[in-house]
């Protein structure tokens, strides 16, 4: 039976560097009563900061923009101390990642933010002058601005949001948006109020689920739990169940932005998925 064409030609995974953190941010590991009075060692882990470029017959879509090139200088001190970028070179600059896929910043038509944390919106300022359509969930933008207004900056960087002020922005308020044929956006929440999970179905019939930071590690899917980065457990558990249902379908694969093993599972640009 012929596969219905969606218009999605190629999917490139982009390498924006490496970030590190205490494992407790991702998977909870509380002390048991038998460990009371002992010093439990802290386990640190590293994972990629990744994004994606989708080549569609109706336009080029960029998913997330990575961290600011000078993150150590521009991030709040606490953010850097909790989540330091342990690898970032010229190769990880947005323009150089796009070049590996055969594109330039001015070629991008749509930019989808899975959410607006500083390791996802950090290089968006490089695209503003080319006027792509910046897409995010309405709940995410409202929450980010509210947290900044309260002075609770955390992982929302004022400079990142200022770069988007007055730009070509589209927010959606519903739980679902079909951006283009084969490109579906779902508001899952869980991590942040407007966290988006994307389903990308290619012309060849493969479906790739871009989880953003809804889950930071495949372990969260297996254990159905999340560490200190959890925002709303009810949304998280509901989303986990949906992901598991989707993954029962043929030719469906999960791509997790910070999966430590991502580059052993999938090729990075200039190679691509179809």
Walk me through the domains of the chain, giving residue ranges and CATH numbers: 8-23+45-265 (3.60.15.10)
CA atoms within a 13 Å half-sphere pointing along the CA-CB vector of 68: 21
Q: Is 13 helix (H, G, I), strand (E, B) or coil?
A: strand
Whether the Cβ atoms of residue 89 and residue 40 lie closer than 8 Å to each other: no
pTM over 0.85: yes
What is the maximum alpha-carbon separation in the chain?
64
Whether the Cβ atoms of residue 99 and residue 143 lie closer than 8 Å to each other: no
When pLDDT is cut at 50, 70 and 90, the band that residue 40 belongs to is confident
Summarised one tens digit per residue, pLDDT across range 127-168 is 999 999 999 999 999 999 999 999 988 899 999 999 999 999
Distance (Å, whole) CA 25 – CA 217: 11
Q: How many residues does the chain have?
A: 274
Distance (Å, whole) CA 40 – CA 262: 29
Residue labelled with tokens 């190629």 = 10
Summarised one tens digit per residue, pLDDT across range 106-133 is 999 999 999 999 999 999 999 999 999 9
Helices (H), 181-269: 218-223, 233-246, 262-265
β-pair type (59-63, 252-255): unpaired
Summarised one tens digit per residue, pLDDT across range 170-181 is 999 999 999 999
When pLDDT is cut at 50, 70 and 90, the band that residue 32 belongs to is confident
């Amino acid at each position: 039976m012929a596969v219905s064409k969606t218009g999605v030609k190629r999917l490139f995974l982009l390498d924006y560097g490496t970030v590190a953190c205490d494992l407790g941010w991702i998977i909870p590991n509380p002390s048991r009563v038998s460990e009371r009075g002992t010093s439990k060692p802290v386990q640190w882990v590293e994972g990629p900061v990744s994004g994606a470029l989708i080549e569609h017959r109706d336009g080029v879509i960029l998913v997330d923009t990575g961290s600011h090139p000078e993150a150590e200088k521009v991030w709040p001190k606490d953010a850097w101390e909790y989540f330091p970028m342990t690898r970032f070179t010229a190769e990880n600059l947005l323009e150089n990642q796009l070049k590996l896929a055969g594109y330039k910043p001015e070629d991008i038509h749509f930019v989808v933010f899975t959410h607006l944390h500083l390791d996802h919106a950090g290089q968006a300022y490089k695209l503003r002058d080319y006027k792509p359509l910046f897409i995010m969930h309405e709940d995410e933008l409202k929450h980010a601005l509210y947290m900044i207004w309260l002075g609770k900056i955390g992982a929302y960087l004022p400079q990142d949001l200022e770069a988007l002020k007055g730009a070509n922005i589209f927010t959606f308020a519903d739980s679902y948006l079909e951006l283009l044929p084969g490109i579906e956006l779902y508001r899952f929440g869980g991590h942040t109020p407007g966290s988006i999970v994307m389903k990308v179905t290619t012309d060849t019939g493969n479906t790739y689920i871009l989880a953003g930071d809804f889950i930071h590690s495949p372990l969260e899917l297996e254990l159905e739990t999340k560490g200190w980065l959890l925002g709303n457990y009810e949304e998280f558990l509901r989303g986990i169940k949906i992901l598991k249902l989707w993954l029962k379908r043929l030719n469906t694969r999960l791509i997790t932005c910070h999966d430590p093993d991502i580059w052993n599972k999938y090729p990075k640009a200039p190679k691509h998925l179809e």
